Chain A
Amino acid sequence: AQTVTQSQPEMSVQEAETVTLSCTYDTSESDYYLFWYKQPPSRQMILVIRQEAYKQQNATENRFSVNFQKAAKSFSLKISDSQLGDAAMYFCAYRIILRGYALNFGKGTSLLVTP
């Protein structure tokens, strides 16, 4: 079974600083897909960034980037120049191809951004 582990239940960062959220996963598949979703207080799930395992280049989306270490099965999210609007729950997710492309989520990291 594919498991996703987020070892940091809570993180805090000052505005304009950089923070890294960790995520590890367990799989025996060679090709797979990883995602980070954000859930603000409105509880609407928002895609932050995605990564295909066969691509060695780390994905980036504006201030968000990942550090994808396939051998270590690690998929951390780096947020640069943090803004107050980044405060949210962040979920790492693994796409399960054999389950209709369903996402398997970690338990989440709550990010607090302080002025």
Chain B
Amino acid sequence: DGGITQSPKYLFRKEGQNVTLSCEQNLNHDAMYWYRQDPGQGLRLIYYSQIVNDFQKGDIAEGYSVSREKKESFPLTVTSAQKNPTAFYLCASSPFRGTGGTEEAFFGQGTRLTVV
């Protein structure tokens, strides 16, 4: 079945450590996104990538890094520079090239990151 897989579902990190969240899609989508969700804040864009080997900062990129070495994969690293990393993280993908703007964005099931 086609879809987006995020792993792990729950992740615990000690303060000062970097941690990487995995996101893999088999939908052959060009574009991929990372969002952060906090209570009462909706979803905020961290990074996005339109094609392989290219990515752009979103609204809250500080303390995060990404890579896009393969079309299927868009991992997010939460670095020790992120002051308040405890949150729910969602990865999404959508078609990009040659398509209209009504294409649905598909989401993974999320990763809950907790700093201990």
Within B31-51, which residues are at the interface with A (CB < 8 Å)? 31, 33, 35, 40-45, 48-50
Contact present for A104 and B88 (CB under 8 Å): no
The CA of A52 and the CA of B99, in the complex, are separated in Å by: 13
Binding site of B, secondary structure by majority: helix, strand, loop or mixed?
A: strand
Interface string of A32-60 (1 = CB under 8 A from B): 11010000001111010010100000000
The CA of A101 and the CA of B45, in the complex, are separated in Å by: 12
CB < 8 Å: which of B43, B44, B56, B107 contacts A100?
B56
CB-CB under 8 A from B96, the residues of chain A are: 100-101
User: Which one of A32, A102, A105, A106 has the greatest number of beta carbons of chain B within 10 Å?
Assistant: A102
A43-B88, A44-B109, A101-B31 are contacts. A91–B43 as well, Cβ < 8 Å? yes
Q: Is B25 an interface residue (CB 8 A)?
A: no
Interface string of A63-107 (1 = CB under 8 A from B): 000000000000000000000000000010001010111111111
CB-CB under 8 A from A33, the residues of chain B are: 100-102
CB-CB under 8 A from B102, the residues of chain A are: 33, 50, 52
Interface residue range, chain B: 20 to 34
CB < 8 Å: which of A43, A50, A100, A102 contacts B104?
A50
Interface residue range, chain A: 20 to 34
Contact present for A101 and B94 (CB under 8 Å): yes
User: Which one of B33, B48, B101 has the greatest number of beta carbons of chain A within 10 Å?
Assistant: B101
CB-CB under 8 A from B8, the residues of chain A are: none
Query: What residues make up the interface of B, taking CB atoms closer than 8 Å to A?
Result: 31, 33, 35, 40-45, 48-50, 56, 58, 88, 90, 92, 94, 96, 100-105, 107, 109-110
- Beyond A43-B88, A101-B96, 16 additional pairs, beta carbon < 8 A: A6-B42, A9-B40, A42-B109, A45-B90, A45-B92, A45-B107, A52-B102, A97-B101, A100-B31, A100-B49, A100-B56, A100-B96, A102-B31, A102-B45, A103-B43, A103-B92
